[in-house]
C-alpha cells in the first residue's frame, strides 16, 4: 500500500488480490465511483487499485468495502502468493476435467454417461466451484449495489443446474437434463478469464519491462574495497563503479573515466551518448564501451526511471472522455440483461408457446452471451498499449485522457529557444560601454550562472573559456520572460535581459539580443546566435501535411523570430511576448481550434498549462516539465509527430474496440433470445469477445503508424 500527494488531494494506492477478470475490476471501480472518489484506476492484471481523496481517514472504510466485495487488500503484492486453489488457471483445469465427460455423452455410446446420477456427480464439483467463484462475486456485487457480470453467469448456470436437478429427481427423462450446459458455461467463462488475464498482462508489459530494468546490482566502492549490492540499497553520495556491459544502477554524476552509454530505453534514440567527467548518467542505461566511477545523486523513487514508471502507472488512471459512454452503458447493463432474459422467457413460453424447456434455454443463452467486459476493456487496454508504445519511443504521456485531448489538433504552437532551435548559443559580439571588457564578462558570468535558462547555460559555458574578472554578487533573482536582476556588495543594481522588454533599448540595436544595465545605465550589449535544429524544417512540413497549422510564439526579438520562421516554413509568428501575453495568444488559438503548445523554459510554463495539451522537452526547466502533460525525452523533433500519430491510432483503436463491444451485444442478445444460439455457444462467444477486443489493442504494439 502506498500514497502520493498531489496538491490538495491524496492519491491512495492499494494492492488488491482476488481479481480474476475485468468484471472484478469493474465492481471495485463502480464502488469507488459511487463513493465519489476521483482519478480511479483498477487493474486486475497488476492487482492495483488507485483513487484520490481529500480525506485520508476514509481509507480503512474503503478497504473494508472492497473486502466486502470478496477481495483482499494486502500490504505487499510480491510476498502475497496466491494459493494453488485460488488461481483462475487451476480452477479452469479442474472444471475442464469434469466437463469433458459430460460433453462426451452426446457423441459416445457409453450408457453410463447417460445416467442422470452420473451426470449430476460430474456436474456438482463444477457447479460448486462456479458458486464459489461467480456466486460469491455476484452476491457481494449485489450487496454493494453494483451488480456485475458474474450475476448473469451465476443465474444462467444455476438455472440450468436446478432445472436438471428437478428433472433428475422427478425422473422426467433426458429432455430435462442440461448438466453439460451448466458445466460448460462455467468452464468456458473461466477459460475467458484465463485468456483475458494473460492478454491484459501483455498490455502492461511496457511498465513491467521498465520495472525489470530497475532490478540490477551495483558495485560500491567503500574504504578502497568493492562490494556488490542491490541498486535498492544504494544511498546518495555512494561511489559506484560501472564497467562495460553493466547497467547504470542509479542516477548520478561521472567522477572519472569515460564511456559510451546507450540511453535508448529512456529517449528512444539508438545512438550511444558519450559521457565524461561531470556528465550526468541515468539509472537503467547501459554502458556499451568504457567504464566510469560515479557518485550516486538520486536513488529509489527519486530516479528518473522510477518517476517514469510512476508517471506511466498514474497515466492509466486518467480515463479518456470516450470511455464514459462505455461506463454508463456497463452501469445499467446487468439489470437490463436480466430484464431482457425474463422477457425472453415470458414471450417465448406464454406468447409463442414453444415449451418451457426451450424458453428456459433461450433465457439462459441471453444471460451468458451478454458481455459488458468487452466494453470495460475497450479503452484501458488500448490506452495501456498506446502509453507503452509512446514510452518506448521516448514520449511520456501524463494521462490517458491526453490521448483524446490531442485528437483533431488544429494548431501546434512552438516556443523558439530550445524547441525549434538547439538552445546552444554562441556569443557573436559583446559591445561594452567601458574599457574593462574582462569585468563585463565576469559580471555576465556571475549573473547567468544562477539561471537555468538555455541561453544563460550556453553563455556560462562559453564565458568560462574566456579571460574575465569574476564579480561577487550579494543577490540574484530571475524574472519570467524579462531577465535577471542582481545586486553587488557595493550596492550597485544590475539588469541583464532583453532591452526591448525593459523599455530602455537604444535605436539601431537590432543586431543585439541582450543588454546589461548598471543602475539603469547601459553597460554592455550582447549579440548571440542560436542554431536551428536540423529536423525543424521537416517537422513543420509534416505538420502542414497533417493539416495542422504551426505557430511560433516567443519572447525573443521580432527580427530573430521572423528569421527562424522563414527558414523553416512557419507563417504565423508572435514575437516579444511576456508569459502573460503568451497566455492570451494561446487563448485566442484555443477558441479557433484544438491547440498544442511545445516549450521548454520557465516563461513557457503558464502557456503549457493553458493549452489543450502542453508538451515539454526533456532538457527543459523543471517548472516546464511539471506544467506539461507530455514530455519528449528525445530532443529529436520527430518525437512531436510520433506523439501525434500514436495518440491518433490509440484513439482509433479505442473507437474500434467500443464499436465491436456494442455491436457484439446488439447482435448476440437478439439471436440468443430467438433461440439461434444455445447457452454453450453463447458462453464460448462471450469468452472470446474479450479476447477480440484485447487482441485489437495489442495490434497497436506492432502496427506501422509512423508513415
DSSP letters, 172-207, are --GGG--HHHHHHHHHHHHHHHHHHHHHHHHHTHHH
Residue 649 · residue 657 · CB < 8 Å: no
Residues 691 and 694: their CA atoms lie apart, in Å, by: 5
Rg for the chain (alpha carbons), in Å?
32
In order of 236, 403, 618, 637, the CA distances from 267 in angstroms are 24, 20, 9, 12
Residues 483 and 505: their CA atoms lie apart, in Å, by: 14
Question: Which of 173, 209, 193 lies closest to 133 in space, CA to CA?
Answer: 193
Residue 686 · residue 189 · CB < 8 Å: yes
Residue 668 · residue 173 · CB < 8 Å: no
DSSP letters, 16-84, are EE---SHHHHHHHHHHHHHTT-EEEEEETTTTEEEEEES-GGGHHHHHHHHHHTT-EEES-TTS-PPPG
Q: Is 488 a catalytic residue?
A: no
Q: Which residues contact 169 (CB under 8 A, 6 or more apart)?
A: none
Q: How far apart are the first and last CA of the chain?
A: 43
Catalytic residue among 150, 246, 251, 415: 415
Pairing of β 493-497 and β 514-518: antiparallel
- The H or E element containing residue 355 is none
- The H or E element containing residue 685 is helix 679-702
Question: Which of 140, 133, 148, 10 lies closest to 65 in space, CA to CA?
Answer: 140
Helices marked H in 628-675 = 638-673
**Active-site positions?**
415
Amino acid at each position: 500500500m502506498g500514497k502520493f500527494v498531489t496538491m490538495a488531494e491524496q492519491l491512495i494506492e492499494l494492492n488488491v488480490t482476488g481479481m480474476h477478470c475485468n468484471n472484478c475490476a469493474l465492481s471495485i471501480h463502480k464502488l469507488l465511483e459511487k463513493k465519489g472518489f476521483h482519478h480511479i484506476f483498477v487493474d486486475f492484471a497488476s492487482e492495483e487499485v488507485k483513487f484520490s481523496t481529500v480525506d485520508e481517514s476514509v481509507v480503512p472504510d474503503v478497504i473494508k468495502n472492497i473486502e466486502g466485495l470478496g477481495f483482499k487488500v494486502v500490504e505487499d503484492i510480491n510476498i502475497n502468493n496466491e494459493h494453488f486453489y485460488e488461481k483462475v488457471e487451476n480452477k479452469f483445469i479442474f472444471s475442464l476435467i469434469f466437463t469433458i465427460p459430460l460433453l462426451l455423452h452426446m457423441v459416445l455410446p457409453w450408457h453410463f454417461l447417460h445416467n442422470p446420477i452420473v451426470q449430476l456427480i460430474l456436474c456438482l464439483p463444477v457447479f460448486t466451484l462456479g458458486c464459489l467463484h461467480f456466486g460469491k462475486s455476484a452476491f457481494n456485487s449485489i450487496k454493494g449495489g453494483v451488480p456485475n457480470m458474474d450475476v448473469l453467469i451465476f443465474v444462467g448456470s444455476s438455472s440450468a443446474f436446478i432445472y436438471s436437478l428437478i428433472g433428475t429427481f422427478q425422473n422426467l427423462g433426458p429432455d430435462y437434463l442440461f448438466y453439460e450446459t451448466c458445466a460448460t458455461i462455467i468452464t468456458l467463462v473461466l477459460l475467458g478469464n484465463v485468456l483475458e488475464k494473460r492478454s491484459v498482462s501483455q498490455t502492461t508489459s511496457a511498465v513491467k519491462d521498465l520495472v525489470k530494468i530497475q532490478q540490477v546490482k551495483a558495485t560500491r566502492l567503500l574504504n578502497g574495497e568493492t562490494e556488490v549490492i542491490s541498486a535498492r540499497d544504494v544511498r546518495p553520495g555512494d561511489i559506484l563503479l560501472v564497467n562495460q556491459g553493466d547497467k547504470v544502477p542509479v542516477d548520478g554524476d561521472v567522477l572519472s573515466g569515460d564511456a559510451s552509454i546507450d540511453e535508448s530505453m529512456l529517449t528512444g534514440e539508438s545512438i550511444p551518448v558519450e559521457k565524461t567527467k561531470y556528465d550526468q548518467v541515468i539509472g537503467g542505461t547501459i554502458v556499451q564501451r568504457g567504464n566510469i566511477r560515479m557518485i550516486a545523486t538520486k536513488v529509489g523513487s527519486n530516479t528518473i526511471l522510477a518517476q517514469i514508471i510512476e508517471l506511466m502507472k498514474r497515466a492509466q488512471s486518467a480515463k479518456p472522455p470516450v470511455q464514459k459512454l462505455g461506463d454508463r452503458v456497463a452501469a445499467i447493463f446487468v439489470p437490463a440483461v436480466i430484464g431482457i432474459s425474463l422477457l425472453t422467457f415470458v414471450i417465448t413460453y406464454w406468447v409463442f408457446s414453444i415449451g418451457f424447456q426451450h424458453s428456459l434455454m433461450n433465457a439462459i443463452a441471453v444471460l451468458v452471451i451478454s458481455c459488458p467486459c468487452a466494453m470495460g476493456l475497450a479503452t484501458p487496454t488500448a490506452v495501456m498499449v498506446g502509453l507503452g508504445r509512446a514510452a518506448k519511443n521516448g514520449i511520456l504521456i501524463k494521462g490517458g485522457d491526453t490521448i483524446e485531448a490531442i485528437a483533431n489538433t488544429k494548431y501546434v504552437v512552438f516556443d523558439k529557444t530550445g524547441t525549434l532551435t538547439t538552445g546552444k548559443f554562441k556569443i557573436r559580439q559583446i559591445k561594452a560601454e567601458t574599457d574593462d571588457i574582462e569585468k563585463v564578462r565576469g559580471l555576465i558570468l556571475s549573473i547567468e550562472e544562477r539561471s537555468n535558462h538555455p541561453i544563460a547555460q550556453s553563455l556560462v559555458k562559453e564565458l568560462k573559456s574566456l579571460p574575465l574578472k569574476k564579480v561577487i554578487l550579494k543577490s540574484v533573482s530571475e524574472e519570467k520572460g524579462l531577465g535577471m536582476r542582481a545586486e553587488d556588495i557595493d550596492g550597485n543594481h544590475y539588469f541583464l535581459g532583453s532591452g526591448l522588454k525593459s523599455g530602455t533599448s537604444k535605436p539601431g540595436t537590432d543586431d543585439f539580443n541582450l543588454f546589461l544595465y548598471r543602475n539603469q545605465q547601459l553597460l554592455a550589449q550582447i549579440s548571440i546566435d542560436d542554431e536551428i535544429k536540423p529536423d525543424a524544417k521537416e517537422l513543420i512540413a509534416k505538420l502542414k501535411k497533417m493539416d495542422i497549422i504551426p505557430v511560433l510564439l516567443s519572447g525573443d526579438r521580432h527580427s530573430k523570430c521572423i528569421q527562424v520562421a522563414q527558414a523553416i516554413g512557419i507563417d504565423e509568428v508572435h514575437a516579444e511576448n511576456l508569459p502573460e501575453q503568451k497566455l492570451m495568444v494561446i487563448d485566442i488559438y484555443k477558441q479557433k481550434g484544438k491547440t498544442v503548445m511545445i516549450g521548454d523554459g520557465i516563461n513557457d510554463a503558464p502557456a503549457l498549462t493553458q493549452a489543450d495539451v502542453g508538451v515539454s522537452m526533456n532538457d527543459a526547466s523543471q517548472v516546464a516539465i511539471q506544467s506539461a502533460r507530455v514530455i519528449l525525452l528525445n530532443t529529436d523533433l520527430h518525437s512531436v509527430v510520433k506523439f501525434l500519430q500514436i495518440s491518433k491510432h490509440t484513439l482509433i483503436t479505442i473507437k474500434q474496440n467500443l464499436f465491436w463491444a456494442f455491436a457484439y451485444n446488439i447482435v448476440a442478445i437478439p439471436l440468443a433470445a430467438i433461440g439461434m444460439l444455445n447457452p454453450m455457444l453463447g458462453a464460448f462467444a462471450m469468452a472470446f469477445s474479450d479476447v477480440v477486443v484485447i487482441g485489437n489493442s495489442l495490434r497497436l504494439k506492432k502496427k506501422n503508424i509512423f508513415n
